[in-house]
Chain A
């Protein structure tokens, strides 16, 4: 895995996709999308208020919902737009914000431990689990999924996201550059 990570990090500059986000005229929230080698990845900002409200409506205490809302949250879509199956594994994704080394996305298992410590009810934890982007999944051509991903980056700050997938027996990666977290008041 370390070798894979190093190899993909070395290729980082070659595969970067800096794109202008599209802005929703009603909410002002931004979407970044890229498509390469049979995969489409799309991140749409979720505002802290939306995150709080979503989880409180599903049984989270205000404190637990606030913990999640402190993260930089995106609705994330992964879609197979190619002709062969692709496998994604969130554990291989990395994000880099200013002055920080590449970091992995906190796993659903890690969140589950946190919610249990905070006394979040089982039904709320189930909702949380299924609302996140699946940790691993195989997509046949035409398949897609969406779910939340959360990054430990301050609201309003930017980061680069390296997404990794496997197709045809090989690992591939791409980058979304300068993705920005929603502002606290967005």
Chain B
């Protein structure tokens, strides 16, 4: 009972446990993309929070930013607002953001979204059993891929990013020109 009570007492802090790491100074978000020789992107076909199916194969002709994340992952939480700003910056361009949540249910994600100042407008896809994440050979969260108009992975980013940093915006802009 003692342990149970203490757990309840700590539950708030544990929402972002990792809030332990959020203490005085957070690990800074990066703003680099690692360019790669283009290679075909693995399949990605998942339902979003509303049950709509999204298929990467249907997005040829668009630049796609794919972000693997989870609500319990601190850098994932921190980079989400800047990802929304990036999506808004290119909302009139052939640019799509897909956020693939790993291993969580819609209720958990909705609860997280409700805490944000701005609810993401891009689709949040559900990779409940992390099969897609494994197919993409993601080793840790967050990991982000940039896919060109031909459906090829051309850049990656491991770890939290400030997606609306000028360097990131410029990388997307250049890809849109090609």
Contact = CB atoms under 8 A, between A and B. Distances in A.
Interface string A121-144: 011001100110111110111111
A140 B34 contact: yes
The binding surface of chain A is classed by DSSP as: mixed
B7 A62 contact: yes
Contacts, number: 134
Interface in B69-99: 70, 72-75
A127 B7 contact: no
Interface stretch (B9-17, B41-49, B55-63, B118-126): B9-17
Nearest to A75: B21
Nearest to B75: A146
Contacts of A107: none
Contacts of B4: 62
A137 B158 contact: yes
B141 A130 contact: yes
**Interface range on chain B (Cβ under 8 Å from partner):** 35 or more
Contact of B70 (A56, A65, A130, A144): A130
A143 B159 contact: yes
A77 B78 CA distance: 15
Interface string B1-35: 00110110111011101101101110100111010
A22 interface: yes
A83 to B, nearest CB: 11
A46 B9 CA distance: 15
B34 A142 contact: yes
A61 B101 CA distance: 23
A76 to B, nearest CB: 9
B50 to A, nearest CB: 21
A145 B103 contact: no
Interface in A79-104: 79
Contact of B102 (A126, A142, A146): A126
Interface in B100-157: 102-104, 128-130, 139-141, 156-157
A27 B23 contact: yes
A53 B20 contact: no
A134 B139 contact: yes
A58 B87 CA distance: 30
A46 B27 contact: no
A149 interface: no
A53 B18 contact: no
Contact of B21 (A26, A58, A146): A146
18 contacts: A24-B23, A31-B21, A31-B24, A45-B20, A50-B14, A52-B10, A53-B7, A62-B3, A127-B103, A130-B130, A134-B140, A135-B139, A140-B34, A140-B158, A141-B34, A142-B30, A143-B34, A144-B159
